[in-house]
Amino acid sequence: MTKIRSTTVLAVIHNGKVAIGADGQATMGNYVAKSNVKKIRKLQDGKIVTGFAGSTADAFTLLERFDEKLNAYGGNMKRAAIELAKDWRMDRYLRKLEAMLITADKDELLVLSGTGDVLEPDNQIAAIGSGSMYAQSAALALKKHAPNLSAEEIVRESLNIAADICIYTNHNLIIENIE
């Protein structure tokens, strides 16, 4: 699978709250094409939030298909994710798409990839993109050592740490919460 880079998306469930955020940088080759891309989308009247990394056109195609699956399966996020992953792996057109998704509802996080993976991450932290390991490490430390922070504060601080380290991640953050 192609290594997805040029963004950082992080989702955290902490103290019963869910937050997902992403930086705004889009690169083309070795230059910044845009600095304020919105990589987070709310679905199902805000009950499900998604974030994407990779090719924007590919991600929008996958988000549209995911929304269709959500509608087909009555808003059941896990079932919709599994069905999308099956299609993504098997369909000749979808198989060529280069993107990853994080989906979150009030109870769980899932990471979807083009290899057919639907992963439930440990520690209720999910990260994708070039700065994902920096953001995930920071989020793990903050959850453990600063338990009074909110999920949104953990996401914001972790993405800022990733942006300080990863050249493909900037400080123009968009963070959404699930109420």
Whether 83 maps to a domain, the answer reads yes
What is the domain count for the chain?
1
7 is a catalytic site residue: yes
C-alpha to C-alpha distance for 37 and 140, rounded to whole angstroms = 26
Quote the pTM value: 0.93
Q: Which domain holds residue 28?
A: 8-178
Whether 66 maps to a domain, the answer reads yes
Whether 3 maps to a domain, the answer reads no
Task: Check 7, 8, 50, 169 and give the catalytic one.
Answer: 7
Whether 2 maps to a domain, the answer reads no
89 with 118: CB under 8 angstroms?
A: no
Whether 1 maps to a domain, the answer reads no
CATH code of the domain in which 151 resides: 3.60.20.10
What is the full per-residue pLDDT of the chain (179 aa) written as tens digits? Answer: 444 457 899 999 999 999 999 999 988 878 888 899 999 999 999 999 999 988 777 888 888 999 999 999 999 999 999 999 888 877 766 667 778 899 999 999 999 987 778 999 999 999 999 999 999 999 999 999 999 999 999 999 999 999 999 999 999 999 999 97
Whether 27 maps to a domain, the answer reads yes
